[in-house]
Amino acid sequence: MTKNDGSKPTCRSSAHSSRLRGLLRGILSIQLIFALQLVSAGCFASPQTTPAIPASTPLTQSESARYTFDSVAMDATVPYIVYLPAGYSPAQKYPVWYAMHGNSSTETFWLDFGMVGEHADALTASGELAPMIMVFPFTRYDDAKTIVADMEDGVRGPSRMERFLCEELIPYIDAHYSTIPSAEGRYIGGFSMGGLFALQIGLHQPQLFSKIGAYSPALTYSDFSADHFERWLSTDTNDAFELEGYAKTHGMNKLFVYLDCGGESDPFSSGAASLQDALTARGIQSAFHPHEGGHALDLSLVDTYLLFYVAW
C-alpha cells in the first residue's frame, strides 16, 4: 500500500505542567491496570499489505482478513482486520463499524476474545442485524513524550490515533470497499482504552460518525461537571472557553452514545457516571448501562453492542 500524504505531528514543549502532570498520571495509572489484563492471542496469518479486490458475486459466508497500513500519522505500519458479512457484494452499500481494543490487546481482540464475527453472523442470519462491515485497527495511545510535546498551550490536540483513523484509514476503507460513505452509515466503538478513543474521536468528529459505543471506557478524567467536559474534548485553547452551546455548535447533538461500565470494582465507573450526566446536560443522546463485574468486556452483551449500531 502506498503511504498517504500527510504531515508529521507538530511538536510543542509543555507550558502548563500542572494540568499535564495530572493527565500523564491518569494515563500511567490506566497502563498499569491494563498490564494486569490478559493479552488476547491472535489467530490470523501474516497480514497482507493490500486488500484483494472483492469478488463481484456475493460472499457465501463472512470473511475476515488482516492487512497493514503505512501510516504517516502513526509513523508506523499499522495492522488492521476487515470483516465482510455473508452476502457481501459491491452492488450493495454497507455501514461500517470501527472497533478498537484495550491497551493490553491487539487488533484481534474483538474477533478472538469477543467473538464478534460469530455473533454478527448469527444475528445477520436471523434477520435481526443488518449486514455491516467491521474494521479492527491496532490501537495505541500516544506515549508520554508525544503528549508533553503536544501540550505547550495546555490543551491536548488530536491524538495520532485519531488522525490515523479519520485522515487515513477511513478514506482508504471507503475507497476500497462498498461502504455507506457518510456519518449515517459509520460508527465507532471500543473497550477500555478503545472506548476512550471511541468517545474522543467520535465526539471530535460528528461529521464522520453517527453512533459511539464506549464499553468500560478508560477515562483519563473522573469529573465531567461544570466545564470539565469541554476542556476534556477541546483541541483549541480559545474554543475551550466558549462553553455556551458547545455541543450543539460542534454537531454533537446529532450523535447517539451507548455508554457502559462495570460495578464499583471498575476503576472507571465513577468517571463514566459523571460523563453520562455531562452528555445528558448538553442534550447529547445517550444510553447508560452499568453492569455487574469489574473492568472487563461482558461477553453476554456483545449482541446488544452490535444491535445498537444496525438493528433492523
Instruction: Kindly report, residue by residue over 137-172, the tens digit of the pLDDT.
Output: 999 977 767 666 666 766 667 899 999 999 999 999
Mean pLDDT, residues 248-269 taken together: 96
Which pTM was predicted?
0.84
Residues 168/2, Cβ–Cβ less than 8 Å = no
pLDDT at 98 over 60: yes
Percent residues over pLDDT 70 in the chain:
78
pLDDT-derived band at 18 (thresholds 50, 70, 90) equals: very low
pLDDT recorded at residue 46 = 52
pLDDT at 55 over 70: no
Kindly report which listed range (90-99, 232-241, 245-254) carries the lowest average pLDDT score.
232-241
Domain coordinates in residue numbering, the chain: 17-310
pLDDT at 14 over 50: no
pLDDT recorded at residue 289 = 97
Q: What does the pLDDT look like over 197-229, one tens digit per residue?
A: 999 999 999 999 999 999 999 998 999 999 999
Residues 88/187, Cβ–Cβ less than 8 Å = no
Domain 17-310 superfamily per CATH: Alpha/Beta hydrolase fold, catalytic domain (3.40.50.1820)
pLDDT recorded at residue 45 = 46
pLDDT recorded at residue 260 = 98
pLDDT at 252 over 90: yes
Three-state secondary structure string covering the chain: CCCCCCCCCCCCCCCCHHHHHHHHHHHHHHHHHHHCCCCCCCCCCCCECCCCCCCCCCCCCCEEEEEEEEECCCCEEEEEEEEECCCCCCCCCECEEEEECCCCCCCCHHHHCCCHHHHHHHHHHHCCECCCEEEEECCCCCCHHHHHHHCCCCCCCCCHHHHHHHHHHHHHHHHHCCECCCHHHEEEEEECHHHHHHHHHHHHCCCCCCEEEEECCCCCCCCCCCCHHHHHHCCCCCHHHCCCCHHHHCCHHHCEEEEEECCCCCCCHHHHHHHHHHHHHCCCEEEEEECCCCCCCCHHHHHHHHHHHHEC
Gyration radius of the chain over CA positions: 19
pLDDT-derived band at 19 (thresholds 50, 70, 90) equals: very low
pLDDT recorded at residue 154 = 66
Percent residues over pLDDT 90 in the chain:
67
pLDDT at 44 over 60: no
pLDDT at 7 over 60: no
